[in-house]
Structure formats: C-alpha cells, structure tokens
C-alpha cells in the first residue's frame, strides 16, 4: 500500500477534472484492470492520487474540500479503480473491487448520509449494508479480502457502486444502496 503509493507518486500526477453527472461513464460499468499494471494504469493511479489531495480538489472546483474515497469514473476514466482513505488519512489504491453483505440479523441494512462529488450540492440518506466482505487487488495484483463495517463499509459500497455505473441517487431494485431521502445543500 504505502510503498506502492510512494512509487506511483514518483510519476508526476496531473490534475483530473470531474465529469458531469449526466456523463454516460458514470452510468456504465467500468472495465476491469489487468496485471501487471500497464504504464497507462500506473499514470491513471498517480493522477488520481494527486487529484484527490485537498489543494487539487479546490483547484478542480470540487463540492467538498476532502474525500473519503474517489472512483476513476468520476474523473472520466472507465476503469475499476478507486481510492479509499484509511484511518491513518492516507489513500489506498483499490483495483477491481467487489463486496458482498455479511448478514448478522436485524441491523443488516443501516441508513446514513452520503455526499458525492458526482452529485454536487446535495446529500442523500442511503441504505447500505452494515458489514461487508470486500475483495480487491492492490497495485501488485495481489488479491486482498477483508471484513469491514460501519463508515468504511459505506464508503466501500459507494465507491464500488461507481465502478459498476451506479450513483447513490439512481433508482435501485434492491434495498441496499437505495436513497431514501435526497436533500439539496445549496
């Protein structure tokens, strides 16, 4: 994680621009990433790591000054990659993410407020799984599986949904990921 981020940061990152909510890339499943990473994929990751930093978010006219996560499609890149802010405040590169619910009983689905750089000037009260089993690959192509819950699980589901062409305010067939209330913040 951290060592790979430093190596990728050695590539000069360029500022990425957010795509508009109506852009089809936000509503189309992204392409899986193959390994070893291509030079293009390494550059995309370096650009993402650069662009998610607060000064760059400000320069890009982002709705918020910091991010818990950000997916490649939000920047117009059709790849199954997202950045995930760790408890230490650094960003972990998540490639080819998936998740499945860990069902434990009556609290399987919980509500919480979410914001999204692709749905600016609004917040949504969204139903999410309280606990999920996640699987992804790191920059070296190693498969990592973990169980996460609460806020980290919410962020994971939100960002993985982006790589699957879903926004939190889209209509959904299942209860998980369904927006129960949508509130403009402007």
Alpha-helix residue ranges (DSSP H) falling in 14-172:
39-51, 54-59, 150-163
Tokens of 13: 């990152």
Helix (H, G, I), strand (E, B) or coil at 26: helix
Tokens of 149: 């819950």
Instruction: State how far the alpha carbon of 78 is from the alpha carbons of 85, 91, 99, 166, 182, in Å.
Output: 21, 20, 19, 13, 27
Residue 173 is among the residues annotated as catalytic for this protein: no
Could you say which of 159, 171, 173, 181 is catalytic? 159
Distance, in Å, from the CA atom of 91 to the CA atom of 68, rounded to the nearest integer, reads 9
Return the active site residues: 159
């Amino acid at each position: 994680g951290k060592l790979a981020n430093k190596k990728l940061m050695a590539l000069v990152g360029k500022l990425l621009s957010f795509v508009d909510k109506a852009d089809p890339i936000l509503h189309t499943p992204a392409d899986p990433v193959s390994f070893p990473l291509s030079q293009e994929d390494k550059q995309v990751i370096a650009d993402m790591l650069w662009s998610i930093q607060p000064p760059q978010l400000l320069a890009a006219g982002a709705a918020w000054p910091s991010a818990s996560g950000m997916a490649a499609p939000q920047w117009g890149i059709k790849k199954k990659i997202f950045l995930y802010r760790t408890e230490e405040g650094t960003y972990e590169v998540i490639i080819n993410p998936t998740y499945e619910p860990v069902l434990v009983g009556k609290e399987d689905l919980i509500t919480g407020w979410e914001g999204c750089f692709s749905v600016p000037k609004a917040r949504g009260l969204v139903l999410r799984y309280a606990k999920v089993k996640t699987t992804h690959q790191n920059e070296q192509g190693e498969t990592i599986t973990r169980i996460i819950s609460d806020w980290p699980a919410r962020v994971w589901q939100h960002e993985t949904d982006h790589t699957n062409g879903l926004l939190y305010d889209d209509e959904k067939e299942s209860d998980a990921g369904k927006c129960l209330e949508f509130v403009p913040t402007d």
